[in-house]
Homo-oligomer: A and B are copies of this chain.
Amino acid sequence: MKRSICVVITARPSYSRIKSVLREIHEHPDLELQLIVSGSALLDKYGSVIDVIRADGFEPNAQVHMVVEGENLVTSAKSTGLGIMEMSTVLSHLKPDAVLSVADRYETIATAITGAYMNIPVIHVQGGEVTGSIDEKVRHAVTKLADLHLVSNQDAAERVRRMGEEPASIHITGCPSIDLAADVMQKQGFLNKKEQIKGVGAEIELKEPYLVVMQHPVTYEWEDAGDQIIETLHAIDALNIPTLWLWPNVDAGSDAASRAIRKFRENNGTTPIRFVKNIPPEPFLELLSGAKCLIGNSSVGIRECSYLGVPVVNIGSRQSGRGQGPNVLDIGHDRKKIQQKIELQIEHGRYSSSSLYGNGNSGVQIADLLSKVTFNMGKRITY
């Protein structure tokens, strides 16, 4: 009988990061893919990622609504609780042989807790990395709840091991997000339709130089989320280069961020900016690979862009601590300095490709591993 692996997709970035794994599980003769789409991936306001998933040929086995409106500190906790309650109902119906959870969001820990209590092996992808904010706590807590660790690189593996996990449960598979980046670098041609860049604001001509911005609110500073966005908006406005701006994630503070963006949009506008909610993963990576610079605090800058060689200006504390390649320049929330760093990066141009986060075959490795691995459910700390 096939071993069933239940993958939980919760947001735009978690889909991009796991898409190649979905494909390889789906095609593996000894595995059966179960797919739960949940959290902000279901919401129109974050670009209805579920439509992209379906367009890619994956039909969800269940949809889990778990986001309590408010996007403040209380509702983040409440959404985690709701996620556990809903996920336990769905998992008791799907009865997977293992459940796979990505990274470090509240949906991730909701899945991990549910699996742990329901005695379903928990597979964690992207453990052992270091960042700021609440994600840092959540990521390592998920490591302690997980039974199998599929990490991006040696550094991450080392950290997971030092936290007391069994060496046999830790596997360096690279980050599956790099698989898509590799596809895009090899094939190109994914970004072939105008309508892939839906959104509002100015029309951007991709043959001309352009920038991309992805800036999420940082939990510990959520009241400042609006102010931080404003700094970046002014930096972009001063540069006067056409810009694609990806709408922030659902997170404490994202309402504040959205509000700041909307206000700026109404009252400013010499620089052409297009605000977009969602682009399918490969076209998005192709778009990034053509950008003069990525600005913001998305882990895409650290991860996929290191492989793509795209220059990145990484703002604020959100990614600090995560191992980064030469393509990244760090800076604080200061419009002048952000502008300067962007100018430096434009001048430098493309970087050479780094395999810091993988070399493009994670999906194949992971599916193969999942078809063979033995889960040890009664794990103990190793010291």
Contact = CB atoms under 8 A, between A and B. Distances in A.
A84 B113 CA distance: 12
Contacts of A141: 141-142, 144-145
A35 to B, nearest CB: 14
B78 A84 contact: yes
B255 A44 contact: yes
A25 B371 CA distance: 42
A208 to B, nearest CB: 22
A97 to B, nearest CB: 15
Interface residues of A, number: 78
B85 A81 contact: yes
A76 interface: yes
Contacts of A43: 69-70, 255
Contacts of A220: 119, 377-378
Contacts of A134: 116-117, 119
A235 interface: no
Contacts of A66: 68
Contact of A321 (B42, B65, B380): B380
Interface string A246-288: 0000101001100100100010000000000000000000000
Contacts of A67: 68-70
A74 B65 contact: yes
Given A78-B65, A140-B381, A200 B266 contact: yes
Nearest to A71: B44
A84 B80 contact: yes
Interface string A110-129: 10011011110000000000
A2 interface: no
A7 interface: no
A239 interface: no
Given A74-B88, A74-B118, A82-B82, 12 more contacts: A43-B70, A43-B255, A65-B68, A74-B89, A89-B90, A140-B164, A140-B381, A158-B383, A159-B381, A163-B164, A200-B266, A317-B378
8 contacts: A65-B69, A73-B118, A78-B85, A86-B89, A117-B219, A133-B378, A137-B145, A143-B144
